[in-house]
Each structure stands twice: as C-alpha cells, then as structure tokens.
Structure 1
C-alpha cells in the first residue's frame, strides 16, 4: 500500500475526503502524515480523528523556506511517503520539495486552470462573471498553479451568491480529488 502525505493550512475538508477514502479503501493508500503550517488549523482536529500523525511548523521560526522544507522532506522520507497531495496548503513549494518529489506532488485548485490562478480563484471568477466554473487537479511545478493538468470537472452556475458558489465548488472538489488520487495510486503500482 502506498504511503502519502497531505499538506494543508486550514479547514481541511479536502484532507478529510482523502482520509475517509483511504480509510474505506476507495484509495489504495495510507495517509502517513499531515503537514500543516498553521498550529491552530482545524485540519489538525480532522487528522486526530483519523489517527493520522501531523508535522506542524511555523515558517517564521526558520531562517528560510529551504530550511523548513528540508526538515519536511526528512520527515516524509522517514515515514516512507511516496506521494504528496496538497489540500489547501497556502505556500508555494521550493526546489527543495519539488526535487525530492518530482512528478509526485499533486494539487487541487478551485478553477478551470489556466484561468483564475492563485489564492482567490473562486472570488475572482465570480467577480469576472463567468458562467462555467470548475475544479482542476494538477501536478505541482515551479510555476503558481502551472503544472500539467491531471483532471478537471466543470459545472454551470448563474446565481449571485458567492457562498453558494463556494459550496458547489467543494461539492465537486471532494469526489474529483478522491477519484483522481485513487487512479494515480492504481497507475503507480
């Protein structure tokens, strides 16, 4: 069974979707570690409920991004982690991480990339007035939301409620991330 790590910075609903799918066998993998850069993030409570250990750090306590990423890589390697799934991890990865896990880091993004990159994709698309929204899962490279696309799912929305739209995005994100992770684990055997 593959060992994966999930990186998250906040609420952790995508983390929970992946953890539940690993627990019930929909994804043939085990989450060996949660990596979190926010000590008070709700995702830590979710990890605790699943019995998943967490590596929690404060980036400001390190001299550089490379310093904390080297420590993360050491911990990942000690746990035997083979794949990384980003689930609302709000940091751009450096070459330290990208080199250690080249073509094995996956991100989920709440827009149909290459449109609406960055941290405010849903609100940006909403403000622009798009009528077709979606979710993209892609490999991570050195460019913000710029890696090769693995999967996308689109849906129409013509309403005028940003909260409703965000709920619809999450309703698409969770199953798409689980399906894609399951496929990647199967293909990487």
Structure 2
C-alpha cells in the first residue's frame, strides 16, 4: 500500500515537484493527501493544484503561539489521512506537540552536509566559508533545527567560481534525487533509528555519480529510478 503523506512548504516547491514526478512515474510508493503552506501565493501551491492535489494555507501569523499553529496543522494532517509528514522547504521550527504526533514519520531536506551549516541560507554559508565539498541531507526531524538523525546525504564539489546560486543549483539536483529515495525507504518500512544513526534495511552501497552534468557522492546509494 502507498504511504499517505502530507507535504509542508513555504516557497516554490521544487522538491514537492520531484516527489510528484516520482509518484507519477510509479517509482515512489506514496500518495500525497495534502499540501500545506504557511504562506499564500507561493508557487508550490500552484504546482500541487496543477496535479489535482488538495492544498491548504494556514498562516502562522493568525495564531497566538507556535503551539496553537502546530495544533491546527496536526488536525488538518490527521483529517487528510496522511501518516507521514514531508518538509519540503517549510520555514518553521516544529514544536514537540507536532513532532510527537508523528513519531519517526517526519522527514526534512536541508541544502548542506549536516551537521555543517544548519539553518537558513546553507548555500551562502558554504560559499562564504570557502568549502570544497558541499551537498544536501535528508534527516528525521526532532525538536532542534536541522538536527535529527540523517537518512541519506549527497556531496557535491564546491568550486572557486561558485556563488550561492550556482552552488545551490548543483545541490538542488541532488536534493531532487535523494529526497524521494528517502521517502521510498520510509514507505517500504526500511528505516530504523538507533540513537543518532539510521539503519536502511538492505542498504545500498555508496555510489559515485560522475557525468558531464553532475558529480556527486551519495551515501547510501540510490536505487533504480532515483
């Protein structure tokens, strides 16, 4: 049975699109039951509507506290029938109430090789630091920002000529591959958490991508279709 998911976003939703694409290709065993945003008019909502997906806007500014806002989100997600929550550029820190409502079922994508450069503007932080290796991480969500156990990471080169836009574009290509892969493992029940470590059942070996367009190291490796 497909995994019923809710996708939360605050912006353009390019990672939402990668998830939709993999579902429609029959590669990702998931069903998007709800796309939630805390902002009106973002392109991510338009992407969802183009594919006939249910959407909802819940403005955090309409609530007196983070707890009240998160309680409203939890209610909508539960009513949608979603079992897991996917944070695809959702620019809010979740409260314990939200996290405890979906234990070990919340995944986030971050544009850095954690624990380096948590928080906003990870690409700019990497450029400013002058790193030679950057990348992205999919992790389970806990009560701290960009802190939960890591599921999969991709490393890409940081080049001398890079600015945040060029490095970010290189990272984003890998985000669009590793995020659906991590969701598929969650859907298949292949992820287990032991302390800070995530075990992937029948874990694929690390893989190197070295094509004319892309170069990356991915661990665990990607499976067919991702």
Tell me the TM-score range normalised by the shorter chain. Answer: over 0.9
Q: What is the rounded CA distance, in whole Å, between the counterparts of 1:77 and 1:180 in structure 2? A: 22
Residue 157 (structure 1) shift = 2.4
Is the CA contact (8 Å cut-off) linking 2:12 and 2:43 kept in structure 1? yes
Is the CA contact (8 Å cut-off) linking 2:127 and 2:162 kept in structure 1? no
Gaps of 5+ in 2: 192-226
Superposed CA deviations along residues 104-154 of structure 1, whole A, max 9, x for unmatched, are 100000000001000111100110000001110000000111100111011
Q: 2:183 maps to what in 1?
A: 181
Q: What is the rounded CA distance, in whole Å, between the counterparts of 1:5 and 1:43 in structure 2? A: 13
Query: TM-score with structure 2 length normalisation?
Result: 0.81
Going from structure 1 to structure 2, the CA distance change for 1:122 and 1:79 (only over 3 Å counts) comes to same
Is the CA contact (8 Å cut-off) linking 1:108 and 1:135 kept in structure 2? yes
Q: What is the rounded CA distance, in whole Å, between the counterparts of 1:184 and 1:57 in structure 2? A: 26
Q: 1:34 maps to what in 2?
A: 35
Q: What is the rounded CA distance, in whole Å, between the counterparts of 2:143 and 2:126 in structure 1? A: 23
> Which residue of 167, 170, 186 maps to 1:168?
170
Residue 23 (structure 1) shift = 2.1
Q: What is the rounded CA distance, in whole Å, between the counterparts of 2:160 and 2:169 in structure 1? A: 12
Gaps of 5+ in 1: none
Q: 2:12 maps to what in 1?
A: 11
Is the CA contact (8 Å cut-off) linking 2:58 and 2:73 kept in structure 1? no
Matches for 1:72-91 after TM superposition, within 5 Å: 72-91=73-92
Residue 188 (structure 1) shift = 5.8
Q: What is the rounded CA distance, in whole Å, between the counterparts of 2:45 and 2:173 in structure 1? A: 22
Query: TM-score with structure 1 length normalisation?
Result: 0.96
Q: 1:152 maps to what in 2?
A: 153
Q: What is the rounded CA distance, in whole Å, between the counterparts of 1:185 and 1:2 in structure 2? A: 5
Superposed CA deviations along residues 84-110 of structure 1, whole A, max 9, x for unmatched, are 110110000001211101111000000
Is the CA contact (8 Å cut-off) linking 1:32 and 1:79 kept in structure 2? yes
Point out 4+ residue stretches in structure 1 off by more than 6 angstroms: none
Higher relative contact order (CA 8 A, sep 6+): 1
SS of the residue aligned with 1:31? strand
Is the CA contact (8 Å cut-off) linking 2:137 and 2:153 kept in structure 1? yes
How many equivalent residue pairs?
Answer: 189
SS of the residue aligned with 1:143? coil
Matches for 1:95-114 after TM superposition, within 5 Å: 95-114=96-115
